[in-house]
A = this chain, B = another copy of it.
Amino acid sequence: MLDQLRAHIEKIVPLDDQEFELMTAFFTYKKFKKHQFLTQEGEPVTYNYFVVKGLLKLVYTDDTGKEHIVAFAMEDWWETDFPAFYQQTKATMSLLAVEDTEVLCISLQDYKKLCAALPKIEHFFLEKAYMGFIAAQQRIISTMTTGIKERYEQLLQKYPSLIQRVPKTLLAAYLGVSRETLSRLSL
């Protein structure tokens, strides 16, 4: 699974064997069963997670107890409660396994040590951060400008393998509509 992380990073920055060796020392492997929490609202967020295998959901629960899905993450995606992780505050979101999931995790301290030891990794994370920002902005635009059916179709086109794996109830909680509304649209 470390080879998977290496291939993922090498899509952006090349690593020689020594650099790869150095990098691996900062990551820990963990397994989570379906429904388990990786991070929990109100708790500190220890890790940023790289998904080796499986599917995660990042959930925000509003004052009425309703769950909203902020993000999904599957193979080769990074996920955590980013504000809580980077600012070392308590989580405002929870991260849970939708399927049995294997991850490689890195703490903020180790992330900083890794970037100091291997500056090109900072370039890798910068590219990832830009992509994350651009995706979030495109989701904002899509929410402002398109109906649920079009947004579903955009998602299906952009992330076909993800959408096929995500239960419809979760997809509704991601799109911000009820499960019934999705059904009425024959989605």
Contacts and interface: CB of A to CB of B under 8 A. Distances in A.
Interface of A: 60, 62, 66, 68, 70-71, 82-83, 86, 115, 119, 122-123, 125-126, 129-130, 132-134, 136-141, 143-146, 176
A18 to B, nearest CB: 20
16 contacts: A60-B141, A60-B144, A62-B146, A66-B145, A82-B134, A82-B137, A83-B138, A115-B123, A119-B122, A122-B126, A125-B126, A129-B129, A132-B133, A133-B133, A136-B140, A139-B140
A131 to B, nearest CB: 9
A122 B125 CA distance: 10
Contacts of A138: 83
B129 A133 contact: yes
> How many copies of this protein are present in the complex?
2
A145 B86 contact: no
Contacts of A115: 123
A84 to B, nearest CB: 10
A184 to B, nearest CB: 20
B82 A144 contact: no
A72 to B, nearest CB: 13
Contact of A140 (B66, B122, B123, B143): B143
A134 B68 contact: no
A70 B140 contact: yes
A136 B66 CA distance: 21
A153 to B, nearest CB: 15
